[in-house]
């Protein structure tokens, strides 16, 4: 009975074959190298990390994204090809707790966990939802990218990490990281000013993804569910309805990747409207910056913020 060799052994054998080919001066190995342009392969786990990594990597690394546009990243499953890609990459940029499949596949020496770069907040604003932290395998809320100031911190640390991985271009990575951090700092200022004087402070959201935004700009998030794929219990729905009424929420926020049904039912019950707030877990029509500015506009209208 033949035994399947482990993945690492296969990769090792493939690498040895490639070395043998290039030692003979054949063209095959060269063309493989040209395909990547000789640049380090860097994998971003999902969209906001892709955007940030592209800003910092510039032309010095080849950045690809693991989660295809339009796919809800929390549910990502990895095929053999993606596993091989992850094992071969110079660096994988991810947020531990967002995608269990990625958490399991990466190894610490070639992975950058953006959550480890910032101060996290505990998962879940309400105690009665079962198992969210369990489900994500971490006790903190993983949606760190929805606070531009935290993402600016990530930019700086990612610049240092890329500089270490590719020392020949160290200064360029650090310079671009500083530029990205500056742009994100500017966005943070726009949010701080735009949300400084609002009639309402409570965000009732279908998918509880905006904890960091609420934390940074002194808003209060009431999330219906942490997992956008899970139907909330009738008990949870009536609790949120009561909260929405007592907080005087005029808008229930929904998102584009998930059915707005739950939010619409709740809005109907409490006499509120619905509006789309993008958790940026998939590529928006524009980019991270334009989508965040759209979110700010939506928030300012919904919360009745002063001009
Ligand atoms: Zn999420």
For ligand 1, the distance from its centroid to the CA atom of residue 168, given in whole angstroms, is: 36
Ligand 1 centroid distance, CA of 180 (Å): 23
* Mean pLDDT, contiguous 10-residue spans, the chain (307 residues): 41 41 36 59 97 98 94 89 94 96 94 97 58 62 96 98 97 98 98 96 89 96 74 85 90 80 87 93 94 97 92
Q: Give backbone dihedrals phi and psi of 39, rounded to 5 degrees, phi first.
A: -90, 155
pLDDT of residue 134: 44
Q: 208: which residues sit within 8 A by CB, 6+ positions away?
A: 124, 125, 141, 221, 223, 224, 225, 226
Query: H or E element: which one contains 22?
Result: helix 7-23
**How far is the centre of ligand 1, averaged over its atoms, from the C-alpha of 2 (Å)?**
43
Ligand 1 is an ion; residues with CB less than 5 A from it: 209
What is the CA(167)–ligand 1 centre distance, in A?
Answer: 34
Using alpha carbons, list the distances in angstroms from residue 35 to 41, 57, 104: 11, 18, 28
pLDDT of residue 128: 38
User: Measured in angstroms, how far is the CA atom of residue 97 from the centroid of ligand 1?
Assistant: 10
Beta strand 111-113 pairing with 202-207: unpaired
Ligand 1 centre to CA of 143 (Å) is 6
Distance separating alpha carbons of residues 191 and 187, to the nearest angstrom: 6
Do 302 and 200 form a contact (C-beta atoms < 8 A)? yes
d(CA 114, CA 160): 13
Using DSSP bridges, classify how beta strands 220-225 and 111-113 pair: parallel, antiparallel or unpaired.
Answer: unpaired
Q: Model-level pTM? A: 0.83
Contact between residue 225 and residue 205 where contact means Cβ atoms under 8 Å apart:
no
Identify the pLDDT of residue 264: 87
Q: Are 244 and 224 in contact (CB under 8 A)?
A: no
Could you tell me the distance, in angstroms and rounded to a whole number, from the CA of residue 172 to the centre of ligand 1? 32
Q: What local confidence, expressed as pLDDT, does residue 37 receive? A: 67
Question: How far does the centroid of ligand 1 lie from the alpha carbon of residue 271, in Å?
Answer: 26
With a CB cutoff of 8 Å and minimum separation 6, the contacts of 41 are 61, 62, 64, 85, 88, 89, 90
> In 3-state terms, the chain is what percent helix, strand and coil (to 5)?
55, 15, 35
CA of 293 to the centre of ligand 1 (A): 19
Q: Which of 72, 134, 71 is nearest to 97 (CA)?
A: 134
């Amino acid at each position: 009975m033949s035994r399947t060799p482990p993945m690492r052994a296969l990769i090792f054998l493939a690498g040895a074959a490639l070395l043998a080919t290039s030692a003979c001066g054949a063209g095959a190995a060269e063309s493989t190298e040209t395909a990547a342009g000789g640049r380090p392969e860097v994998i971003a786990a999902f969209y906001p990390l892709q955007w940030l990594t592209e800003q910092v990597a510039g032309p010095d690394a080849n950045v690809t994204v693991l989660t295809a546009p339009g796919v809800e990243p929390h549910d990502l499953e990895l095929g053999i090809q993606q596993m091989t890609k992850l094992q071969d990459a110079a660096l994988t940029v991810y947020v531990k707790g967002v995608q269990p499949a990625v958490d399991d596949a990466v190894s610490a020496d070639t992975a950058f966990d953006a959550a480890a770069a910032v101060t996290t907040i505990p998962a879940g604003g309400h105690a009665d939802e079962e198992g969210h932290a369990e489900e994500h395998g971490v006790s903190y809320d993983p949606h760190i990218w929805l606070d531009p100031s935290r993402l600016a911190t990530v930019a700086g640390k990612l610049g240092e990490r890329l500089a270490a991985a590719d020392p020949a271009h160290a200064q360029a990575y650090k310079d671009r990281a500083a530029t990205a951090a500056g742009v994100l700092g500017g966005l943070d200022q726009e949010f701080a000013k735009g949300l400084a004087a609002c009639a309402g402070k409570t965000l009732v959201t279908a998918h509880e993804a905006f904890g960091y935004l609420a934390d940074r700009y002194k808003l209060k998030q009431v999330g219906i569910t942490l997992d956008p794929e899970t139907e909330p219990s009738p008990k949870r729905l009536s609790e949120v309805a009561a909260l929405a009424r007592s907080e005087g929420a005029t808008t229930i926020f929904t998102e584009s990747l998930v059915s707005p049904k739950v939010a619409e039912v709740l809005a109907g019950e409490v006499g509120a409207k619905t509006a789309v707030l993008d958790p940026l877990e998939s590529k928006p029509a524009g980019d991270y910056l334009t989508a965040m500015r759209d979110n700010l506009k939506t928030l300012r209208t919904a919360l009745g913020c002063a001009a």
